[in-house]
Structure 1
Amino acid sequence: MSQDKETGKAFDFRLFRRVFQHTRPYSITFYGVAFIAILLSAFSVFTPLIIGDVVDNAITNRDSERLLFLVMAMLGVLIGEVTCQLLFTYYANLLGESVIKDIRIRLFEKIMGFKMTYFDNSSIGILVTRAVADMQRIGEIFSQGFFVIVADLLKMLVVAIIMLVMNWKLALIVFAILPLILYATRLFQKAMKSAFIEVRAQVSNLNSFVQERIAGMKIVQLFNREEIEKEKFREINEKHQNAWLRTVWYNSIFFAVAELLGAVSIGLIVWFGGLQNVNGINAEEYGDIFTFILFSGMLFRPLRHIADKFNTLQMGMVAANRVFNILDTESRISNEGTLEKESMKGYIKFSDVRFGYIEDEEVLHGISFEVKAGETIAIVGSTGAGKSTIINLLNRFYEINSGTILIDDINIQEYSLESLRSHIAVVLQDVFLFADTIANNISLKDETIDVNDIEAAAKQIGVHEFISSLPGAYEYNVKERGTMLSSGQRQLIAFLRAYVSNPSVLVLDEATSSIDTYSEQLIQQATEKITEGRTSIIIAHRLATIKKADKILVMDAGQIVENGTHKELLEKGGYYSDLYEAQFLAEEEVA
């Protein structure tokens, strides 16, 4: 995957607007949360005012009735503030979760539409991080970031206005400290922006490393790589730790400075207010001192709070930037074809097809061949000759550089991708099974295929007995990647999956080189059954398949060097004859 582009700005308003565009379907919730934020700022200033009134009037005048009234008023304010806080927390989180649900669906749909080239160059661990961890960070923009910051800013604004109205001299003393905190906050924001970019990068690297090593644990253990991988993990983990410690260090410095400046502000209020009273100022101003001490906390504490929540907002914006980079990636197979066909005859024709996975590095050099409807062809050749590439191009996993590929005399680009792929079934050499039941792995949860259809198909190709012998039979959970089954058993499941889809064209990467004899016999039986009466392209690894093919294509270095029947090619005494003697004849002798 290409390196994500990170904005160097402390705050990217363009990105911010883009995130908030996703709140449009939830505008009622959005404005509701904003209104509650306003109420919270209003409720928060009542308590200091009431306390000031208690000191100046109820206590000084020893008015018990007024004291009771003010205490009850404080209770009412507390209930209102708690209620608003509850509603604010719930609906801000609801908005955040709704937004990331929509973005996550868009992201998953985008990823599913990418060309195979994208996945060839991408780390699965990083993609998982984008779809899971980064999404939660985006949700926190709403639940713990933006609205909390807005509520705190409103609170600060209301407090500042009331302070000026009550006692402008004390207010100016408090305000004199504000520029210092604002400057410290600005420096803190810039430093945290850089730190969080590094944090997200290290989180992605850690996820990618762990995902790959767990998936390849068998190789790690087979080649005694435990200590080496442990050391690599220690290095990556240390970088991850250092990235987080950097954010902790910035937080430690900022919050210590903010606390110090807040304490200085309170000291100045007490000193100046006390000095006024000592010099004969009216006693009722004692209430102002108490009120201003509380207000100064409400003015400075939100600044510290805002800085903390700005961290959350920054992390959410960094995550959003990474997710949007994927959403903006143009790596889709063109799906402008509109042709939908209920059935295909299965006539296939490649005409001068050229293709390369990397620009200017061709893998196929002008491939041309045709497969008649119902015909079975085998493709043989050394590793890297381009056999599997033909399969990938037929399904339009990749776009060809030039030439044409026809099915039933129609360019495959004229078919919709859904229609094209629905008529082609592929059994790959590396069988992938989901962590689900055998039945679901066969039907892929297609509602048109029920268990009875699966059982009937299994009996037809001779694998019903094998499945029935498993605990739970068709409801047996094969676990992640089908680890509960042998390679031969996974192959049989893949054959049955292809067969129940009733394809017009069948493509088999016949991987039988590393399975037991019994599974091989079942696969040969299954192969004969599912290729019967339909167009089949088989990358051949076994002699039996080659001999029964209607035609054999011999590939070398991205070109078809020979073609014909098994007998015809042997009589030529060329490339195929040499390959047969070196590889397939040895099998025959062993048999």
Structure 2
Amino acid sequence: MAGPGGRMMAGGGPDQRTLDFKGSSKRLISRFRPERGTIYGLLACVVLSVGLSVIGPKILGRATDLVFAGIVGRDMPEGATKEQVLDAMRARGEGDVADMLRSTDFTPGEGIDFTAVGNVLLFALAVFGVAGLLMAFATRLVNRAVNHTMFRMREDVQTKLSRLPLSYFDKRQRGEVLSRATNDIDNIGQTLQQSMGQLINSLLTIIGVLAMMFYVSWILALVALVTVPLSFVVATRVGKRSQPHFVQQWKSTGTLNAHIEEMYTGHTLVKVFGRQEESAKQFAEENDALYEAGFKAQFNSGVMQPLMFFVSNINYVLVAVVGGLRVASGTLSIGDVQAFIQYSRQFSMPLTQVASMANLVQSGVASAERVFELLDAEEQEADPSPAEKPAELRGRVALENVSFRYDPEKPLIEDLSLKAEPGHTVAIVGPTGAGKTTLVNLLMRFYEVSGGRITLDGVDIAHMSRDELRSGIGMVLQDTWLFGGTIAENIAYGSSREVTRAEIEEAARAAHADRFVRTLPDGYDTVIDDEGSGVSAGEKQLITIARAFLSDPVILVLDEATSSVDTRTEVLIQKAMARLAHGRTSFVIAHRLSTIRDADTILVMENGAIVEQGAHEKLLAAEGAYARLYKAQFAEAVAEVD
């Protein structure tokens, strides 16, 4: 959609809200409720894995003590006790060494007990191996929970898109909506896959390691906790700086995707009007905006990891200094200090991991809010329950004092009334913007009337289900719509039941599409894409008309349906429509008045109101708005001939 000056409409216009990180995070987590069993299994595996991983350093510390005790004991006089050796040291003035060895469990005269050391190391290996297997199983459970949750979210988005009113899509670019349904959901899935299990593991590791640190030495544990407030301040400050950039990054992604989709869909038009340079320039601008937002988001969040490493190293230095003093005083063994240094690393590492995952989490939550905005969008009014339906669907349509406006401040249709009897053809003519297509949109309930009512065989269509209403209406628009598949499949799309090839070909013959289809290399099995490549605009229109014929509707709506076909084919289609319209109500919107001269009733609309209605000859004799339109077209045709 072109805006002022020919510039394309910005993609994220309607949704410029600030990210509610806390609320969106809670809402995203709440979507895992159906996976409670898997989550409980995940937590059990992670708790056991973390528990085994946490006791590992303590076991290795025991091995270190055994080796150190053997090294110390082999140089001591055999047969003496530990206390005798330490007293002798103090007597020789080696009191500091004696204090340090006080906490070491050595036996004078005995060297390293390699059997005991081997048993301890094997036990440690078994502990770490089981911890690894449990973590691998936990990862599998994470994948299961995340994939199931993303599966349901995609289903919710698909269901939501089908319930959104036409007005929602009128206000947004198609590529921007598609970006929410594809890129943003994929980003949420990747974020959860990479961070969910790791976050749980890191949080439980912090708790487990902290407990072991207090068990080994409460003084060293308090020293290690000194840097925690600093880590929290770093994470909070950096997170607040980077979060707005992640929000902008995904908005810019949606805008860029909308532009790419728009330019690709209309690439022929872009080339015809020589707008490649302008298109490339706008792409460059939006690409630059995405680069800037992405760079700032990643840079700001990326600063967190080196800062957390710095804080971790401060913690390491403090623990090493205080631990060394405790060993020197004989309060702790070397093995305990070694274990504690490992614990301090284990304590700092999850904090660093959580901080380094901040960019992932922030990016995922930014995408989650964009998806939640889509899921929270106002839906079309629900069908009434129980829904009414006509006793017999014959096609009598009546508009009773109908009013409608797209913008509450700008009235479009006011107090419009008309009746269409079964089997009659009602042609609607008028200048552009008179409300012709709007009338059809109201009949199909793409929009709801602002006032008055529309009835089908005496039943207010607002009291009918949309599926019931639309199942009786066949519609052919000026803009053709095809999907990737064979021509036969495209025609069969018009029927809600299984149809035979004979029925498809019969509908094609009725629409005069059979002749050109059979000239194609694979006939009805010719595969076309959603752009209809390989067939002309007129041939695409014939396929869509055949689709409408196959649906066998009670009401037929043709909105400029013959605008893309040549004059000879138009005449043939008019004859086919006359056969199809027998016993059915037909609404025909046309600019070329020559196509609707045989209509039972012609409605002339201006500014949302019917200014004239009647048969062709009667309206010409009235010398009113219709006569002016007809004469203008006749004069134009004469000028073209001249």
Q: Same fold (TM over 0.5)?
A: yes
- The one of 182, 192, 196 equivalent to 2:232 is 182
* Residue 420 in structure 1 maps to residue 469 in structure 2: yes
TM-superposed CA distance for 1:342, in Å, is: 8.1
Residue 48 of structure 1 is matched in structure 2 by 57
Measured against aligned partners, the alpha-carbon deviations of 1:257-284 in whole angstroms (never above 9, x if no partner) come to: 211222222223333333444x4537x7
TM-score (normalised: structure 2): 0.86
Quote the offset at 1:528 in angstroms.
3.1
Q: Distance in 2 between matches of 1:391 and 1:588?
A: 32
**1:47, distance to aligned residue in structure 2 (A):** 2.8
CA contact (8 A) 2:191 2:361 kept: yes
Deviates more, 1:516-525 or 1:339-348: 516-525
Candidates 200, 220, 226, aligned match of 2:270? 220
- Equivalent residues in 2 for 1:378-417 (5 A)? 378-417=427-466
Q: Distance in 2 between matches of 1:409 and 1:342?
A: 9
The answer to whether the 8 Å contact 1:512/1:542 transfers is: no
The answer to whether residue 177 in structure 2 is matched with residue 166 in structure 1 is no
How far apart, in 2, do the equivalents of 1:518 and 1:30 lie? 68
**1:2 aligns to 2:11 (yes or no):** no
Deviates more, 1:386-395 or 1:513-522: 513-522
Give the number of aligned pairs. 586
Secondary structure at the counterpart of residue 172 of structure 2: coil
- How far apart, CA to CA, are the structure 2 residues paired with 1:227 and 1:590? 35
How far, CA to CA, are the matches of 1:195 and 1:287 in structure 2? 47
SS in 1 for 2:333: helix
If you compute each CA radius of gyration, which structure gives the higher value, 1 or 2?
2
Hey, what's the Cα distance between the residues in 2 that align with 1:91 and 1:522? 63
Match of 2:344 among 283, 292, 296: 296
Q: Secondary structure at the match of 2:393?
A: coil
Q: In the alignment, is residue 322 of structure 1 matched against residue 331 of structure 2?
A: no
Q: Deviations over 1:271-318 (max 9, x none)?
A: 3333444x4537x72212322222122111111111233433333322
Contact 1:140 1:313 in 2 (8 A): no
Alpha-carbon separation, structure 1, partners of 2:148 and 2:391: 38
CA drift of 1:156 comes to 0.9
The structure 1 residue matched to 2:491, chosen from 408, 432, 442, is: 442
Tell me the residue number matched to 2:89. none
Q: Does structure 2 retain, via aligned residues, the 8 Å contact 1:343–1:504?
A: no
For residues 149-187 of structure 1, the C-alpha deviation after alignment (integer angstroms, 9 at most, x for no partner) is 222111011111111111223222222222211221122
SS of residue in 1 equivalent to 2:528? coil
8 Å contact kept, 1:348–1:372: yes
Shift of 1:65: 1.6
On the 8 A contact 1:553/1:562 being kept in 2, the answer is yes
Aligned counterpart, 2:524: 474
Change (3 A) 1:436 1:518: farther
The answer (yes or no) to whether the contact 2:390–2:456 under 8 Å persists in 1 is no
SS at match of 1:2: helix
Partner SS, residue 427 of structure 2: strand
**Helix, strand or coil at the partner of 2:15:** coil
Partner of 1:39: 48
Alignment of 1:121-270 (within 5 A): 121-140=171-190, 142-270=192-320
Q: Which runs of 5+ in 1 are unaligned?
A: none
Q: State the match for 1:355 in structure 2.
A: 404
Aligned partner of residue 122 in structure 2, secondary structure = helix
CA shift for structure 1 position 58: 4.3
| Secondary structure, aligned partner of 1:360 | coil
Contact 1:114 1:333 in 2 (8 A): no
Deviates more, 1:255-264 or 1:521-530: 521-530
Task: State the AA in 1 paired with 2:202.
Answer: D
Q: CA deviation at 1:215?
A: 1.8
Query: Contact between 2:541 and 2:565, CA under 8 Å: does it hold in 1?
Result: no
Partners of 1:367 and 1:559 within 8 A in 2: yes
CA distance in 2, matches of 1:523, 1:442: 16
Distance 1:452 1:332, change over 3 A: same
Answering whether residue 39 of structure 2 is matched by residue 30 of structure 1, we say yes
Quote the residue 1:312 is aligned against: 360
Q: Measure, in 2, the Cα distance between the counterparts of 1:503 and 1:577.
A: 32
Q: Pick one of 492, 496, 512 that aligns with 1:462.
A: 512
8 Å CA contact 2:302–2:359 kept in 1: the answer is no
- Encode CA deviations 1:338-382: one digit per residue, 9 max, x unaligned: 024585111111122111111121211222211110111211111
d(CA) in 2 for partners of 1:532, 1:36: 71
1:19 to 19, 22, 28: 28
Q: Is the 8 A contact 1:354 1:364 kept in 2?
A: yes
Preserved CA contact (<8 Å) 1:461 1:525: no
The one-letter amino acid of 1:358's match is D
Note closer, same or farther for the CA distance 1:112–1:321 as it changes in structure 2 (3 Å cut).
same
SS at match of 2:417: strand
Pick which of 400-409 and 133-142 moved more. 133-142
**Which one is further off, 310-319 or 495-504?**
310-319
Classify 1:469/1:73 alpha carbon distance in 2 versus 1 (closer, same or farther; 3 Å): farther
- More moved, 480-489 vs 541-550: 541-550
CA 1:555–1:80: 2 relative to 1, 3 Å: same
2:629 to 568, 576, 579: 579
2:176 and 2:257 in contact (8 A); partners too: yes
> What SS does the corresponding residue of 2:597 show, helix, strand or coil?
helix
Alpha-carbon distance, 1:66 to partner: 2.3
1:109 matches 2:121: no
Q: Following superposition of structure 1 onto structure 2, how do residues 439-588 of structure 1 map, counting pairs within 5 Å? A: 439-444=488-493, 446-517=496-567, 519-584=569-634, 586-587=636-637
Q: Distance in 2 between matches of 1:540 and 1:458?
A: 23
Asked whether the equivalents of residues 339 and 415 of structure 1 are also in contact (C-alpha less than 8 Å), the reply is: yes
Give the letter aligned to residue 433 of structure 2: G
The separation in 2 between residues aligned to 1:252 and 1:352, in whole angstroms, is 63
Alignment partners' CA distance in 2, 1:510 and 1:527: 13
Larger deviation, residues 364-373 vs 513-522 = 513-522
Alpha-carbon distance between aligned partners in 2 of 1:4 and 1:448, rounded to the nearest angstrom: 45
User: What value does the CA root-mean-square deviation take over the aligned residues?
Assistant: 2.4
Q: Quote the offset at 1:122 in angstroms.
A: 1.5
Over 3 Å counting, the alpha-carbon distance change for 1:550 and 1:587 in structure 2 is farther
Q: How far 1:395 moved relative to its partner?
A: 0.4
Q: After alignment, is 448-457 or 295-304 more displaced?
A: 448-457
2:476/2:548 contact within 8 Å kept: yes
Per the TM alignment, residue 334 of structure 1 is displaced from its structure 2 partner at its CA by: 4.1
Structure 2 CA distance for aligned equivalents of residues 107 and 454 of structure 1: 33
